Amino acid sequence: MINFDYKNKVAVVTGGTSGIGLATVRILLKSGAKVAFCARSRERLLEVESKLKLEFSNDQVFAKALSVLDQNEVNKFSKDVESQFGKCDLLVNNAGQGMISTFNTTDDDDWKSEYELKIFSQIYPIKAFQSMLKKENGSVVVVNSLLAIQPEQHMVCTSSARAAVQNLIKSLSVEFAPQIRFNSILLGLIKTNQWESRFEDREDKSINRNDWYQNLALNKGIPLGRLGNPEEVASAIAFLGSSDSSYITGAQLEISGGLSKHI
C-alpha cells in the first residue's frame, strides 16, 4: 500500500469501521494524518477505535457512533472534530450499499429511502464540515459507484440515486472552487461485506471462496479477472485527497478492473 504525505493533516471518514472505509482510515493514519471516523454501530466502532489506538496513538484517532442521516448528530460530530483536532483537511463520504430492485419491484418508500441515503449522506457532512474545509483549502472525496454512469436494470433505484450524487459533486466542485476540491471514485466490484454476504448465501455450498469470486469476475466480464480490494480503493481516495492531486477537482476516477464501457 502506498503512503501519502498527510503530516499535520486531519481527515474525516464516514462509514469508517469496515471495508473501504476502514481501509481508508488505515492508509490515512499510516500516512501521518489524524483521523476522525464515524459509523452507526457503537459496538463495532469502539472495537475498531481501540485496535487503531493500539496500533497508532490515542491522539491520532477519534471515533463517534452516529447516523449520517441525522443532521444534528453530524453537526455535533463536526464540532467534536474541531475541538479534538482543530481543523479538517479532508472529508471522505463513504456510506450506503446498493439495493437490488427493478422499477416494478421498487415501492415508493424504497425510492424515498434510497434517495435520502445517497443524497443526504453527502449533504449533511459537507454542510457540517465546509467551514473548516474552506479554511484549509481542503478536499472532499466521495465514494460512488460505476452505476452512476453505467446503470444496471436490476439496480434501477440505486443507479439513479448514484447518478444524482455524481451530478451534485460536479456542481459543488464549481460552486466551492477554489477553496474546496470535490472528486469522486466510481467503484466496480470490490471485495466488501456485501459480496461476502452473497458468498455465504450461495446456492452451491460446494464452491469455495476463491472459485466463487473467480466465477463472479468471469460472469461479470471484468477484464482484470478479479474483484478489487478495499486497500486499492483506499489508495485512490488518499491520492485524491492529498496535495499530489492539487490541480484535480470535479473529476471521477473509475476503479473497476476495466468493467466500464465508457471512454
Q: What is the reported pLDDT for 97?
A: 77
Domain with CATH 3.40.50.720 in the chain: 10-189+230-255
Annotation: CATH topology of 10-189+230-255:
Rossmann fold (3.40.50)
DSSP string for residues in the chain: ------TT-EEEEES-SSHHHHHHHHHHHHTT-EEEEEES-HHHHHHHHHHHHHHS-GGGEEEEE--TT-HHHHHHHHHHHHHHHS--SEEEE-------B-GGG--HHHHHHHHHHHHHHHHHHHHHHHHHHHHTT-EEEEEEEGGGTS--TTBHHHHHHHHHHHHHHHHHHHHTTTT-EEEEEEE--B-SHHHHHHHHT-S-TTS-HHHHHHHHHHHHT-TTSSPBPHHHHHHHHHHHHSGGGTT--S-EEEESTT-----
Residue 235 has pLDDT above 60, yes or no: yes
Q: What is the mean pLDDT of the chain?
A: 94
pLDDT digits (tens, 9 = 90+) for 33-66: 999 999 999 999 999 999 999 999 999 999 999 9
pLDDT digits (tens, 9 = 90+) for 149-201: 999 989 999 999 999 999 999 999 999 999 999 999 999 999 988 888 888 88
Q: What is the reported pLDDT for 245?
A: 97
Name the pLDDT band for 98 (thresholds 50, 70, 90).
Answer: confident
